[in-house]
Amino acid sequence: MTNAQITALTTGLLAFAAIWAVMLFPLMARHRSRYGQVSPARLCSTASVTLYACLGVAVVLLPLPGPNTPRLEQAVQLVPFQWVADIQEELAKHGLSAAHALSTQTFTQMLMNIALFAPLGLFARVLWRRGLLGATALGFGVSLLVEITQLTANFGTAPFAYRIFDVDDLITNTVGASAGWLAGALVLRALHSARPALPAREYAHA
């Protein structure tokens, strides 16, 4: 993980702490009004989604370009699975064998893209009760919004585009959302299986 990514995650955590401090007491009051008591499970669910949103936005947008930030040589990458060739190029650049492919920066970045969207698929299954197709479409839609944001320099709010619109990111992010949905489905199935079976109700025969 690079220093820029660590800084982005730290900023996201600080943003979550500030936002959650503002949200917490109104949420508790709403719970008491609607359910008669504060629901820890619902609070945890809302906190999890809020934390994920803060971290996701921070990772996507930060660090913002500064005065000395170099311009991108390539703003758009439309070749699917270009990351395979990039791994080979990175190995050749450092004189490494194919055995080191999984430790390359390119492969690590691909895994991070999957990991970034896995919680979205998990939430889609566990919290929002969406099907696999819905979670996959949600992952693709959010990923496309992210890529458009990067292509348009944060919709014109940044001085220039400082992240590449990459079709491979669309693919890996969507895969991440689908993988998160599958993980959520497995968790729910495991929890359901772990519940003690209810005793069979005995009926008297006439």
CA-derived radius of gyration, the chain: 22
pLDDT at position 34 over 60:
yes
Give the Cα separation of 84 and 188 in Å (integer).
34
**Closest by Cα among 139, 145, 133 to 119:** 139
pTM, 2 dp: 0.89
- The H or E element spanning position 77 is strand 76-77
* 164 Cβ contact list (under 8 Å, min separation 6): 72, 74, 75, 76, 77, 150
What is residue 2's predicted lDDT score, i.e. its pLDDT?
78
**What distance lies between CA 106 and its chain's CA centroid?**
18
The model's pLDDT over 62-119, given as tens digits with 9 standing for 90+, comes to 999 988 889 998 999 999 999 999 999 999 999 999 999 999 999 999 999 999 999 9
Specify whether the CB–CB gap between 81 and 110 falls below 8 A.
no
What is residue 53's predicted lDDT score, i.e. its pLDDT?
97
